[in-house]
Structure 1
């Protein structure tokens, strides 16, 4: 799409894009060679988290209570690796979406109408605020999983308590080649490395999530701008101005539709993983709650669960916003005086109407569209599965007695 940027143009999602470039998750030609960072970090997760966690599970006594936390952690890290891999494979498609959105917003950066100007200003502010606030919250919450236990142990050891119990290094692990809990000075560098990998993982995943959230919201807002501009077509009296504005609207609407389809193709497998992960983790955590009463264990597992539920909820809300915004276009078209226009303009409007009548949504592996209703269904499904599992466990216990 060609555009003539005005002096008021601005880079979309500037902070978020810089973080993706840093992580090697950006598809621009200048940064494609940085993809090795994402690949290398995925291998770090596998060999520093997944393999030691798996070795811990097979080296321990076959006690389900001991393995409860490692099982959930192993599952969560596996989901992280798969989602990062999906982003790496689709990074060029995401960059094309970003480039089209940037050019489309450049068309309206200097728009004199207040309704359009307020949307453009909102998009600019919201992307920066979301990225900065979300990163701050994730980093702060993650401190309870690694940093706080590490600092507590270091302080206790510094005050002469050399017999202090050494906690696990973020995740339960068995490094095989060395015993990281043999003494404090072996445990300390292992813990520091684990915390560094943890925050690296959070940086990668938060960059991924913020980019998806921002792009979905930007597309929805662009649909709203198209809706406002269609509503003003009746005000144009000059035929040349009318044709020029109609051409811009048709072009931007095509960008909206094309970007929505591309995002759907990228997000579809990721959303399927998230929904599966949410149902599994909800059932698993509720099962653990019904079996044990270790508050620290429950708190650490609840941290993982609330993160997944929040992701599902946020994407469901953004999916609803996208569906609602795209459906506004047909309403705006019907409210124009299309019957007074020449045949070429009516033909362009018909193409827009045909596009707007097609469902624009984000799906989970093509099974269902993400919206508020499907979020509720996912939660109900998880509780239903847990009820069945609890019933089977109760029957097994009764037979054992």
Structure 2
């Protein structure tokens, strides 16, 4: 959470339920400034795209602009998610902190440590990799226009100023008086987009990982409930009730997580195929190696973003489904009819998995990822045919 908040503080979206009203007001002012800063460029990019289509200009120019403002629109929805669902997000955090604190008070065992270590180790690798890739993405768009300016100067012996993105302004952005400020403006807009997407995605990865860890710890408890030597039936009943309450908390927090992310996830699914198609097309057709390299990094970033979203959604779903297997593999059949009935109820409920959805349009899992790639490939084949 500290890693996420270190990025969100620059967007005015820092998550902390202990904020005073004054701190919240300051944070929202920063968010509003960034919102208008970014969307001024988005509007300019849309106007530039419309002009390119209407005037039948370069096909590559239209495909260069489109993925940038589409991805920026998606970043807007991700940032708004943190503003609109701030209460729900803090509720998820408090619930997971309570469950983690509860786990820390239990007797330690090798199995418990392995469950926690495996989940956190993979999470840290993904967070580090995501941060590195997004830094490379920002630096690529920052450096490539400057390199192209220098290369063209040595070829033609004249300065032709370039910008990272094709955006229409009410003035000439290539005028040397305005060019440095416009360049910095566009790069900060890109940083806003990258931080909005990266930080909200990492927050989702954290939530999915910790909920999955709790489901696996619950499975461990269920499998070993009969191995613990309970003194009497009442003591066993109390232990069983605690496990049921634990399961209910995890179901509730999973539903809250779905409420927070479901709408922006639907938008993510809708735009991902378009972005992957367009960036892949740009990588294939641009003769300039620097521009091709830029869009290759952009393509890699988008592919990993949608893959990890689907992967962590799939991980959450599988870990909740496996509770039913843990119940089935316990020794419920040897402890009397009443206990068997109670276990049957929990078993029936756990067969309905907790999951993330794209506004109930589709489940977020690895199958959805393959569907997105399939759709993107269809769009790409059509676009390539039209280009030829």
Range class of TM-score, shorter chain: 0.7 to 0.9
- Displacement, 1:216? 0.9
Matches within 5 A, 1:55-94: 55-57=47-49, 61-63=55-57, 64-94=59-89
1:266: which partner in 2? 260
- Displacement, 1:173? 1.9
- Displacement, 1:167? 1.4
- Provide the rounded CA distance (Å) in 2 between the counterparts of 1:374 and 1:59: 35
Contact 1:316 1:372 in 2 (8 A): yes
- Displacement, 1:189? 2.5
Contact 1:101 1:218 in 2 (8 A): yes
Contact 1:123 1:221 in 2 (8 A): yes
1:15: which partner in 2? 3
Contact 2:74 2:264 in 1 (8 A): no
1:234: which partner in 2? 226
SS of equivalent to 1:120 = helix
1:15–1:387 distance in 2 versus 1, CA, 3 Å: closer
Q: How many residues are treated as equivalent by the alignment?
A: 376
2:132: which partner in 1? 136
Matches within 5 A, 1:2-401: 13-20=1-8, 23=11, 24-26=13-15, 28-30=17-19, 32-33=24-25, 34-47=27-40, 49-57=41-49, 61-63=55-57, 64-110=59-105, 111-123=107-119, 127-128=123-124, 130-150=126-146, 163-168=158-163, 170-176=164-170, 178-183=171-176, 185-238=177-230, 239=232, 242-288=236-282, 293-339=287-333, 349-391=343-385, 393=386
- Provide the rounded CA distance (Å) in 2 between the counterparts of 1:242 and 1:20: 46
1:9: which partner in 2? none
- Provide the rounded CA distance (Å) in 2 between the counterparts of 1:90 and 1:245: 34
Deviates more, 1:38-47 or 1:28-37: 28-37
Contact 1:180 1:186 in 2 (8 A): yes
1:318–1:301 distance in 2 versus 1, CA, 3 Å: same
- Provide the rounded CA distance (Å) in 2 between the counterparts of 1:50 and 1:20: 21
The two structures, once aligned, show a CA RMSD in angstroms of 3.3
Render the CA deviation track for 1:278-323: whole Å, top value 9, x for unaligned.
Answer: 2112333455567654444433333333222212211222222222
SS of equivalent to 1:76 = helix
- Provide the rounded CA distance (Å) in 2 between the counterparts of 1:22 and 1:125: 27
- Displacement, 1:357? 1.7
SS of equivalent to 2:357 = coil
- Provide the rounded CA distance (Å) in 2 between the counterparts of 1:290 and 1:22: 35
Contact 2:88 2:256 in 1 (8 A): yes
- Provide the rounded CA distance (Å) in 2 between the counterparts of 1:105 and 1:186: 53
1:6: which partner in 2? none
Deviates more, 1:131-140 or 1:72-81: 131-140
Q: Which runs of 5 or more structure 1 residues have no equivalent in the other structure?
A: 1-12
- Provide the rounded CA distance (Å) in 2 between the counterparts of 1:87 and 1:300: 29
SS of equivalent to 1:165 = coil
SS of equivalent to 1:164 = coil
Contact 2:284 2:292 in 1 (8 A): no
- Provide the rounded CA distance (Å) in 1 between the counterparts of 2:187 and 2:283: 27
1:128–1:228 distance in 2 versus 1, CA, 3 Å: same
1:339–1:387 distance in 2 versus 1, CA, 3 Å: same
Contact 2:276 2:302 in 1 (8 A): no
